């Protein structure tokens, strides 16, 4: 049995000599992924015809109103881990008139739960308007229930209609950045 | 009692050590070497492996990072450490796990020239390449990576859990040449794999809107078998064990090998292992995504009463559909190649063989081995030089120096001893990292007990 003794001793010695610096696998519980996901949102280009109508035989200025579903927050991972929403807008107004813009976040029942813009003024002949609205979810938890976005845009001064022959346009672009934080 | 202590010590070590079968290759005439080359020579009458203990091997290997870089206790946060590793790795880096347990093995000499061996082992084999782009996207998102094309082709992984029943034959066809072959029946308990994917995801500044998102030429296929049955995950461990005992998806493969003595002192050997496949037909669920899709946002046409979101979903479903199916598929085993040259020298001794004749052997040998395994992305290689010493008929040792994907200075050592009819062997790898195995990319251990009868 001498060989067994020598062999066992040698191997056990090797195991005792081998060592590892202390590792802490529990650190993984503190690991937080923090992705910022950018997504395009709504865009449009509208001309004078969208803002003019005939009421009782007379030309009149109207506002335009459009709503779309936006159901990214129905994804449970996004909903549970969303910490901030950054809305970014780029607007080009070729008219020499001022417009007002409302952007509302609506819930599934179309109730307004947050006003991103409430009468945001779009100056005339402004070709490079940029705006950013940051919503910290902790401050506005109701935003987590938004499933629709509503846009309302109209002339500030509705007493004078736009020139129907004008080739001017309003171009609107938007995006959203969803900041998420999730532990493993 | 001593053996129990020894086994216990080994089992503790298994968690942190792994294998390097280059050390075991053609080492001391061990029965387990026949699983690495069925054409190797043996000189015993029959052998029986101690059930569940005749051959245990385990390896956990990684390229690009080591455990200590992530889990060491220091002042850096875990987020900082993972971020550093993510910056360091590339899509060629991978994490590999392989464990084999020989449930039983035995062999007998059919005649003077022929040795038959057979057995059953269970194997877990997994490799996952580190999809740096996907990890970056999950970790940081796309906001900071405008114009970067996140590659879907980096998503490559393959995991197999299977039982292998095998029977092989080694036949000495001349004084110089021994040929061998082994037939294997695979019973797969679990297979998860995705390979040969294509496509990119890119976010660019747009013209019509702020951003445009592109999913270009996506062809992604993730296959599973043995994981889901009747739309429910199989969570019962006994089902997996049963499936590895011919109850799962079956396949077949072969090992072939040879040994050729150029001179009495110069030997050349080689083998091709696991040239085979598994046909997956049961408990399959595959996910397939094919197509291209561009998203630049929702374009309003005021007062149109359109359901933009529904249109968006319909367009994406049409252009880049996600399809689930249960189509049968074939999974190839990772074939391995061994080639070795060995020069024996030193004192010439004799030992008794199975037929009570004396066989001459030299007490020393050195040589080189090349090992290669066919993996999804590319072949992996290991080049080993070795020195082997027989201290007596019953005690042999082998020391190796290996260069591979994980290390340029991997030193391994193996010892095989025989007391009465009991043979035991142990192999340790990457000895230079024994002082801090957590910072090693690979360390390995194999051991086993056999009964050898002359």
In whole angstroms, give the CA distance from residue B409 to residue B397.
19
Interface test with B, best of A27, A70, A183 (most B CBs within 10 A): A27
- Chain B residues with CB inside 8 Å of A173's CB? 206, 208-210, 297
Mean pLDDT value of segment B359-387: 86
In 3D, which of A177, A174, A175 has the Cα closest to residue A91?
Answer: A174
SS3 string, B101-121, reads EEEEEEEEEEECCEEEEEEEE
8 Å CB contact of B9 and A15: yes
In whole angstroms, give the CA distance from residue B72 to residue A28.
11
Ranges of residues in chain A whose predicted pLDDT is under 70: 1-22
Domain A32-183 has CATH 3.40.718.10: no
- Chain A residues with CB inside 8 Å of B2's CB? 4-5, 8
In whole angstroms, give the CA distance from residue B363 to residue B15.
34
CB burial of B230-245 (b: ≥16 within 10 Å; e: otherwise) equals: eeeebeeeebbeebbe
Mean pLDDT value of segment B49-54: 81
Mean pLDDT value of segment B43-62: 81
8 Å CB contact of A175 and B210: yes
Q: What burial class does residue B37 get, using C-beta atoms within 10 Å of its C-beta: 0-12 exposed, 13-18 middle, 19+ buried?
A: buried
Report the range of poorest mean pLDDT among B162-166, B369-373, B407-411.
B407-411
Give the model's pLDDT for residue B424: 87
Q: Which residue of A has its CA nearest to B310?
A: A69
Using CB atoms and an 8 Å cut-off, which of residues 24-63 of chain A contact chain B?
24-25, 27-28, 30-44, 46, 50
Q: Quickly state the pLDDT bin for B19 (edges 50, 70, 90).
A: very low
Using CB atoms and an 8 Å cut-off, which of residues 290-309 of chain B contact chain A?
295-304, 307-309
CA dihedral over B342, B344, B349, B350, signed as positive or negative = positive
B386 has pLDDT over 70 = yes
8 Å CB contact of B415 and A30: no
Give the model's pLDDT for residue B3: 39
B438 has pLDDT over 50 = yes
CATH of the domain at B292: 2.40.160.40
B357 has pLDDT over 80 = no
Using CB atoms and an 8 Å cut-off, which of residues 100-129 of chain A contact chain B?
none
- Chain A residues with CB inside 8 Å of B415's CB? 7, 10
| A35, A88, A175: residue with CB nearest B140 | A35
Alpha helix stretches (DSSP H) within chain A = 2-17, 76-81
Mean pLDDT value of segment B319-345: 93
Give the model's pLDDT for residue B352: 65
Q: Tell me, what's the ipTM? A: 0.85
Q: Which residue of A has its CA nearest to B212?
A: A40
In 3D, which of A40, A46, A47 has the Cα closest to residue A149?
Answer: A40
pTM: 0.79
In whole angstroms, give the CA distance from residue B290 to residue A108.
32
8 Å CB contact of A28 and B419: no
8 Å CB contact of A3 and B419: yes
The answer for residues whose C-beta is within 8 angstroms of residue B382's C-beta and 6 or more apart is B20, B22, B370, B371, B372, B402, B403, B404, B405
Give the model's pLDDT for residue A73: 84
Q: What distances in angstroms separate CA B125 from CA A142, B98, B122, one per listed residue?
A: 48, 4, 10
Within 10 A of B127 (CB to CB), how many other CB atoms are there?
A: 22
For residue range B209-242, list pLDDT tens digits in order.
Answer: 999 999 999 999 999 999 988 888 888 888 888 8
In 3D, which of B186, B53, B440 has the Cα closest to residue A21?
Answer: B440
Interface test with B, best of A2, A6, A14 (most B CBs within 10 A): A14
Mean pLDDT value of segment B1-19: 36
8 Å CB contact of A15 and B141: no
Q: What distances in angstroms separate CA B45 from CA A155, B42, B107, one per listed residue?
A: 100, 9, 8
**What are the domain boundaries of chain A?**
32-183
Mean pLDDT value of segment B74-79: 86
Using CB atoms and an 8 Å cut-off, which of residues 396-415 of chain B contact chain A?
415
8 Å CB contact of B6 and A8: yes
In 3D, which of A86, A47, A45 has the Cα closest to residue A175?
Answer: A86
Q: What are phi and psi of B216, to 5 degrees?
A: -105, 130
| B79, B310, B395: residue with CB nearest A3 | B395
Q: Min CA distance, B270 vs chain A (Å)?
A: 30
Mean pLDDT value of segment B251-257: 96
In whole angstroms, give the CA distance from residue B252 to residue B332.
10
| A4, A11, A20: residue with CB nearest B9 | A11
Within 10 A of B414 (CB to CB), how many other CB atoms are there?
A: 26
| B6, B72, B143: residue with CB nearest A38 | B143
Number of domains in chain B: 1
Within 10 A of B205 (CB to CB), how many other CB atoms are there?
A: 10
Give the model's pLDDT for residue B354: 63
Give the model's pLDDT for residue B5: 35
Q: Which residue of A has its CA nearest to B4?
A: A8
- Domain, as residue range, for B345: 2-453
- Chain B residues with CB inside 8 Å of A35's CB? 137-141
Q: Quickly state the pLDDT bin for B61 (edges 50, 70, 90).
A: confident
Start-to-end C-alpha separation, chain A? 52
- Chain A residues with CB inside 8 Å of B137's CB? 35
Instruction: Give the residue, B435 or B10, on which the prediction is more confident.
Output: B435
Q: What are phi and psi of A49, to 5 degrees?
A: -60, -25
């Amino acid at each position: 049995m001498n060989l067994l003794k020598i062999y066992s001793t040698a191997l056990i010695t090797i195991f005792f000599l081998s060592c590892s610096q202390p590792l802490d696998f529990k650190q993984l519980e503190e690991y937080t992924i923090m992705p910022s996901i950018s997504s395009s949102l709504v865009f449009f280009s509208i001309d004078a015809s969208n803002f003019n109508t005939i009421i009782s035989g007379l030309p009149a200025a109207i506002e335009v109103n459009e709503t779309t579903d936006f159901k990214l927050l129905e994804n449970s991972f996004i909903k549970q881990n969303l910490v901030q929403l950054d809305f970014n807008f780029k607007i080009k107004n070729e008219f020499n008139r001022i417009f007002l813009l409302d952007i509302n976040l609506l819930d599934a029942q179309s109730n307004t739960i947050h006003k991103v813009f409430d009468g945001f003024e779009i100056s005339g002949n402004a070709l490079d308007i940029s705006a950013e609205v940051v919503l910290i979810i902790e401050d506005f938890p109701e935003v987590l229930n938004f499933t629709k976005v509503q846009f309302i845009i109209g002339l500030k001064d509705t007493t004078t209609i736009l020139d129907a022959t004008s080739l001017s346009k309003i171009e609107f672009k938007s995006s959203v950045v969803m900041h998420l934080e999730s532990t493993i | 009692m001593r053996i129990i202590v020894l086994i216990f010590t080994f089992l503790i070590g298994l968690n942190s050590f792994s294998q390097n079968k280059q050390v075991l290759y053609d080492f001391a005439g061990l029965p387990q070497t026949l699983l690495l080359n069925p054409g190797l020579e043996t000189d015993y009458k029959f052998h029986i492996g101690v059930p569940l203990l005749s051959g245990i091997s385990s390896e956990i290997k990684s390229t690009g990072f080591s455990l200590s870089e992530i889990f060491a206790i220091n002042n850096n946060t875990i987020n900082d450490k993972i971020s550093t590793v993510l910056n360091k790795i590339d899509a060629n880096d991978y994490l590999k796990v392989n464990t084999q347990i020989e449930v039983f093995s035995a062999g007998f000499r059919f005649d003077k020239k022929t040795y038959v061996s057979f057995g059953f082992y269970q194997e877990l084999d997994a490799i996952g390449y580190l999809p740096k782009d996907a990890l970056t996207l999950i970790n940081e998102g796309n906001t900071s990576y405008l114009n970067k094309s996140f590659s879907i082709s980096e998503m490559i992984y393959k995991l197999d859990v299977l039982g292998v029943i095998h029977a092989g034959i080694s036949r000495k066809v001349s004084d110089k040449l021994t040929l061998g072959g082994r037939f294997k029946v695979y019973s797969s308990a679990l297979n998860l794999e995705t390979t040969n994917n294509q496509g990119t995801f890119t976010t660019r500044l747009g013209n019509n809107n702020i951003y445009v998102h592109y999913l270009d030429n996506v062809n992604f296929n993730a296959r599973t078998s043995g994981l889901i049955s009747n739309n429910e995950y199989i969570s019962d461990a006994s089902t997996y064990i049963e499936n590895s005992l011919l109850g799962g998806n079956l396949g077949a493969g072969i090992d072939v090998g040879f040994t050729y003595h150029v001179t009495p002192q110069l030997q050349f050997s080689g083998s091709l292992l696991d040239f085979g496949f598994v046909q997956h037909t049961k408990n399959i669920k595959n996910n397939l995504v094919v197509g291209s899709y561009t998203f630049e946002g929702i374009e309003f046409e005021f007062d149109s009463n359109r359901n933009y979101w529904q249109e968006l979903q319909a367009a994406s479903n049409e252009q880049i559909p996600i399809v689930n199916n249960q189509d049968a598929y074939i999974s190839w085993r990772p074939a391995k190649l061994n080639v070795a040259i060995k020069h024996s020298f030193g004192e010439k001794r004799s030992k008794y063989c199975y037929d009570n004749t004396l066989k001459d052997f030299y007490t020393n040998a050195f040589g080189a081995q090349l090992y290669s395994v066919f993996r999804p992305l590319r072949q992996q290689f290991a080049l080993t030089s070795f020195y082997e010493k027989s201290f007596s008929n019953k005690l042999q040792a082998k020391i190796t120096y290996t260069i591979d994907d994980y290390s340029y200075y991997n030193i391994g050592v193996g010892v095989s001893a025989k007391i009465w009819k009991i043979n035991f062997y142990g192999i340790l790898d990457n000895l230079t990292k024994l002082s801090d195995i957590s910072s090693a990319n690979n360390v390995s251990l194999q051991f086993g007990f056999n009964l050898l009868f002359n």
